[in-house]
Structure 1
Amino acid sequence: MQPTDLLAALRTRRLVAIVRGSDAEAALDTVLTLAREGVDLIEVSLSGRDAPGVIKRARAALGPDALLGAGTVVTVEDARLAAEAGASYVVTPAVTEAVAASRARGLPVLAGAMTPTEVAAALAMDATAVKLFPAGPGGVELLRALRGPFPDVPFVPVGGVDAVSARAYLAAGALAVGVGSPLVGRAADGDASGLHERITAFRTLGEVAP
């Protein structure tokens, strides 16, 4: 995947589903369910059990064009694991060595940042987009404040984003949002109750105009 491909996917889908689970089989089932039900821009967090294995198996099941990424990529080793598992892109929680390491492997990067200094550092390391994280404490006002000095930066708020605030972030200029438990719930831990209903609530984000 090229950086322009990731940006296009974010602009079209408006939603990155974040899967992090203690049960690798349940995490894989969650990824496949999300993709099957139309939420197909998916990040599998490396903090979950056997996350590289989940990514590898999901890639085999969904095919080479699936929009499947690795999240919580912090170190150079994490970047290697993500690439070897078949991730199309990586997501970091902060501006770390993993940003440059992932870009060196040809992977687009959604780099975590919260302050103007961190945003500038992410751009200097050739991040494809900026994951505004954690978005919850600053909310929509933080996004608006950062878009003042960085009007052309593609921001993706993550952390504390639910179905209501997601639309507020998109209306305030976010390219997309990243959502974990408000969408996935405990499905990746083995309890998939309510997953279909939550997917339905979030799936219409793709209809929100950029």
Structure 2
Amino acid sequence: MELQAALAAHRLIAVVRGRDADAAMRTVLTLAEEGVELIEISLTGTDAVSVRARARAALGPARPLGAAAVLTADDAHAAQDAGADFLVTPALGEAVSAAWDLSLPVLAGVFTPTEIVAARSLGATALKVFPAAQAGGPAYLKALRGPFPYEPLVPVGGVDEDAARAYLAAGATAVGVGSPLVGDPADGVRLTALRDRARAFHAAVGEAVQ
């Protein structure tokens, strides 16, 4: 898939992790039904590889599905075997190089300008600024745009609706959202509230890019 183009087009990527694999699966399907086009399933969730494989079977080959919290080459291979279209790492490491070897796009975790340069040298497709809130929020991302005006930056970590608007206004290519969007459905409850939050985030992203 063309990850960088997809991030620029959709501006929102949902991060699903949970203690209940069946609930995580329902969460993925609900997000897809609500039009969230980019979804990543974290390896830190229960039985995450199986959830991704089941989601791929249910959603078909056209829906982009990512694997998050990918740390090792073994993680990368397992994610590809389970139908992942792209990988997401929390930091730089062997998973980024493995993604290159597997011809999988990778959203690589960075925190500093030095790490941005290193990530691009390793072949990262896009750059996950993480943890974004602790890095300095939208002001920090705007500052990064000075030396890196064209890099695809995706802040992740503590991004609620207001922050999503602010990050996109500051020059983010997209935002990655976990608990402020997903909440607790991936642990087993409240799919109705998830639908409401998905619609609210769609509205926030749409407002930010008008």
SS at match of 1:178: strand
**1:167: Cα distance to partner?**
0.5
For residues 90-142 of structure 1, the C-alpha deviation after alignment (integer angstroms, 9 at most, x for no partner) is 00000111001011101000000010111111100010000000000210111
2:127 pairs with 1:112: no
For residues 140 and 111 of structure 2, what CA distance do their matches in structure 1 show?
Answer: 9
Unaligned stretches of 5+ residues in structure 1: none
2:202 corresponding residue in structure 1: 203
2:138 pairs with 1:136: no
2:69 corresponding residue in structure 1: 72
Instruction: Note if contact 2:40-2:65 (Cα within 8 Å) is conserved in structure 1.
Output: yes
1:179 corresponding residue in structure 2: 177
Residues 48-59 of structure 1 mapped to structure 2, 5 A cutoff:
48-59=45-56
Instruction: Note if contact 1:15-1:205 (Cα within 8 Å) is conserved in structure 2.
Output: no
SS at match of 2:209: coil
Number of aligned pairs? 207
Query: When the two structures are superposed, what TM-score results if normalisation uses the length of structure 2?
Result: 0.96
**1:36: Cα distance to partner?**
0.7
SS at match of 2:158: coil
For residues 108 and 69 of structure 1, what CA distance do their matches in structure 2 show?
Answer: 10
**1:206: Cα distance to partner?**
4.8
SS at match of 1:74: coil
The residue type paired with residue 176 of structure 2 is G
How much identity, in percent, do the aligned residues show?
A: 59
**1:16: Cα distance to partner?**
0.3
From the superposition, tell whether residues 65 and 206 of structure 1 become closer, same or farther in structure 2 (CA, over 3 Å). farther
Moved over 6 A (4+): none
1:88 corresponding residue in structure 2: 85
* Alpha-carbon RMSD: 1.1
2:16 pairs with 1:19: yes
SS at match of 1:49: coil
The residue type paired with residue 203 of structure 1 is H
For residues 68 and 204 of structure 2, what CA distance do their matches in structure 1 show?
Answer: 21
For residues 206 and 143 of structure 1, what CA distance do their matches in structure 2 show?
Answer: 17
Query: When the two structures are superposed, what TM-score results if normalisation uses the length of structure 1?
Result: 0.96
**1:34: Cα distance to partner?**
0.2
For residues 26 and 174 of structure 1, what CA distance do their matches in structure 2 show?
Answer: 31
For residues 62-117 of structure 1, the C-alpha deviation after alignment (integer angstroms, 9 at most, x for no partner) is 01111110000011111011110000000000011100101110100000001011
1:191 corresponding residue in structure 2: 189
For residues 140 and 205 of structure 2, what CA distance do their matches in structure 1 show?
Answer: 23
SS at match of 1:42: strand
For residues 9-61 of structure 1, the C-alpha deviation after alignment (integer angstroms, 9 at most, x for no partner) is 11111100000011000000000000011112100000001111011000001
**1:209: Cα distance to partner?**
2.5
